[in-house]
């Protein structure tokens, strides 16, 4: 089904730049934009396993309307060359794993923080900066260990009735935890400050768990797909902690809707951060997801337990009311439907859809 987007504020024309555009989210956004007749520049270092196939798929599907540029956000000159001709920008390129940030905090900083600053400076150098949507992370709120939680069968439940009803809001204090949280949080704050200080049209999405086709997840990033992949390979899943931790999950098509709405309502959303996920209506614990996969696959995935990992949140659900109020956005895809779409895509993608090593840098 085609979902609308439009050319953006003041009828902007020209190519859309997507950094990390051959990754999971970038591929889905690029496909939507290209299907609506837009031209897209995919800027990606192609370092993560599987993204080269995404780039080839986009090129085969859309031909000359998509331009694949192999480049790294740490290369400010290369980034500036594509940024100066973009009508709109979506910045997804990142080092995505907490574990990798613990091994090499400097590289994590250079990619996430410095790479974002390179892009902001490239846009600031234009007479009219292109509007920017940046994907941050819920990790900017830390491990949320102050949230009081009750136990309810297969999941944690917040004691606070407001958080139970709506999730974690943007008024939550920032509490960067882990080098990854620090680097993404730094980038998050730079984007918001450039919107304020330099009047750059830019908005931030603090992302929860996104899932859907073109996702080849690992236990560090893209865990919904990782669980399904392990089931398809008849390999055990490692659950860190007790498996009762809860996340809100959002199907990638609904996220793409949100991206396009953010661009078309940039006058309303610029300079603001939005928690983005499925919200209270679309949540699952790790153990509950295993039950759902069993219903799809016909067998319950095996799992092993390990200790809690650093900065792991026992409960995180996005309060999306701020973005909904400004744009009218509403997720449309139920978890059952979205999980089936991911499962079917992974079945068709095998053997290519194999897990990448933990800590691999994603564009």
Of 32, 179, 5, 201, nearest in space to 103 by CA = 179
Place of tokens 């136990």: 151
361/191 Cα distance (integer angstroms): 22
Please answer whether residues 8 and 87 qualify as being in contact, where contact means their C-beta atoms are separated by less than 8 angstroms. Answer: yes
Please answer whether residues 138 and 207 qualify as being in contact, where contact means their C-beta atoms are separated by less than 8 angstroms. Answer: yes
- 3-state DSSP assignment of residue 244: coil
Count of beta carbons in the 10 Å neighbourhood of residue 304: 9
207/276 Cα distance (integer angstroms): 5
Burial 218-230 (b: 16+ CB within 10 A, else e): bbbbbbbbbbbbb
The dihedrals phi and psi of 240, each to the nearest 5 degrees, come to: -90, 125
Record the tokens describing residue 349, joined without a space.
């993608």
Please answer whether residues 262 and 273 qualify as being in contact, where contact means their C-beta atoms are separated by less than 8 angstroms. Answer: no
DSSP letter string over 31-87? HHHHHTT--EEEEE---STTHHHHHHHHHHHHGGGEEEEE--TT-HHHHHHHHTT-S
248/251 Cα distance (integer angstroms): 10
Place of tokens 């905090």: 105
Residues known to be catalytic = 180
Please answer whether residues 88 and 13 qualify as being in contact, where contact means their C-beta atoms are separated by less than 8 angstroms. Answer: no
- Beta strands, E only, 230-332: 237-240, 246-251, 273-276, 283-285, 303-306, 315-316
């Amino acid at each position: 089904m085609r979902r609308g987007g439009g050319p953006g504020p003041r009828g902007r024309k020209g190519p859309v730049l997507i950094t990390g555009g051959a990754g999971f989210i970038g591929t889905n956004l690029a496909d939507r934009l290209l299907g609506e007749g837009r031209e897209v520049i995919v800027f990606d270092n192609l370092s993560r396993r599987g993204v080269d196939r995404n780039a080839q798929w986009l090129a085969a599907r859309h031909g000359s309307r998509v331009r694949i540029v192999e480049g790294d956000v740490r290369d400010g000159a290369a980034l500036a060359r594509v940024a100066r001709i973009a009508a709109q920008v979506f910045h997804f390129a990142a080092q995505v794993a907490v574990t990798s940030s613990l091994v090499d905090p400097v590289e994590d900083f250079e990619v996430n923080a410095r790479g974002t600053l390179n892009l902001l400076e490239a846009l600031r150098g234009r007479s009219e900066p292109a509007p920017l949507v940046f994907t941050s992370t819920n990790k900017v709120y830390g491990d949320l260990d102050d949230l009081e939680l009750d136990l309810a069968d297969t999941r944690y439940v917040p004691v606070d009735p407001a958080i139970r009803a709506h999730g974690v809001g943007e008024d939550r204090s920032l509490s960067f935890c882990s080098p990854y949280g620090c680097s993404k949080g730094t980038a998050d704050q730079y984007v918001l400050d450039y919107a304020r200080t330099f009047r750059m049209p830019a908005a931030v999405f603090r992302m929860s768990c996104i899932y859907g086709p073109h996702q080849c997840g690992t236990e560090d990033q893209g865990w919904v797909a990782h669980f399904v992949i392990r089931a398809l390979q008849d390999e055990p899943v490692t659950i860190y902690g007790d498996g009762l931790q809860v996340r809100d999950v959002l199907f990638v098509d609904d996220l793409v809707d949100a991206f396009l709405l953010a661009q078309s309502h940039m006058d309303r959303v610029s300079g603001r951060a939005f928690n983005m996920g499925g919200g209270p209506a679309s949540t699952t614990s790790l153990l509950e997801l295993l039950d759902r996969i069993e219903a799809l696959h016909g067998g319950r995935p095996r799992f092993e337990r390990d200790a809690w990992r650093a900065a792991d949140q026992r409960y995180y659900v996005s309060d999306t009311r701020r973005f909904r109020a400004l744009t009218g956005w509403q997720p449309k895809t139920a978890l059952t439907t979205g999980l089936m779409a991911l499962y079917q895509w992974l079945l068709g993608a095998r053997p290519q859809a194999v897990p990448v090593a933990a800590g691999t840098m994603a564009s």
